[in-house]
Structure 1
Amino acid sequence: MSAIRITKQFNFETGHALYGYDGKCRNVHGHSYKLSVTVIGSPINDSSHVKYGMVIDFGDLKKIVNEEIVDVFDHATVFNQNTPHVELAKELKDRGHHVLLVDYQPTSEMMVIDFASKIKARLPENIQLHSIKLQETETSFAEWYASDN
């Protein structure tokens, strides 16, 4: 059976700041992220299976990505836990804001690495993560490909 790639797209809003950066992004700011997740596998060939003809149900992929990424990062402010931004993060949390402290600089590049790890851990064994594209602006994005890693 043929290997087929399935892609599902997601949108979420996230704020962040890049501590130590020498440009404007050192300031707290946000992005309307567009996330594309592509998996690869063979369509189910068993005509008695409820998901016959599917590589993965788009709804199942949506559930995984929403639970691992979108629901966690949407309308959150993300800071590297190893920077002085933790003081700002604590103050924001104390004021009821949704704050995430991660163990990396929250760039698009590092976020796709994190997202790939989380998604791969949840996929059925017969489905592989092929790629992730995280677009932070209309003209800027980071991509992760399994073939590169």
Structure 2
Amino acid sequence: MTEWLVANAWVVWLAVFLLLAIIEMISLDLYFIMLGVGALGGVTVALLGGEFWLQIVAFSIVSLLMIMLVRPIALRHLRKDPEALRTNVDRLIGEDALVLEPTSRMNGRAKIGGETWSARSDDDAPLQPGTYGSVVRIEGATAYITLRTKMPGLD
């Protein structure tokens, strides 16, 4: 059994890679996937016929380089918060809202993104039906909107 493992070390390295990838999917901290790429370095050296100690050296060097050079760049990109990646109700903030019925600080309705929402005026001025507002915030199922000074699509 030991002879087979030494002769087919690439299988062991591939199993290590898969295990590290699974752990990364659970933890999501970008350490284990960097170690996994190091294990792929070990697979490469094993397939090229390198000795086991050389496979370990390749694993160590590739893993360290990935953690020191690639992980910080990946984390920077993951922590960006572009507006295109906003989800759920966050994406509605700043959207146009067509007022459907008189809207005050107490009640009203507006169409936002093709859906009818319960709406409230965010300022003291009531909004009349047919006017456009802009979504300021969402609390629960209620959108708070303010009057737009320009027509949507023209500014």
TM-score range, shorter chain: under 0.3
TM-score w.r.t. length of structure 1? 0.26
Structure scoring higher RCO (CA < 8 A, sep ≥ 6) equals: 1
Q: Name the one with the larger strand percent.
A: 1
Bigger CA radius of gyration: 2
Q: Name the one with the larger helix percent.
A: 2
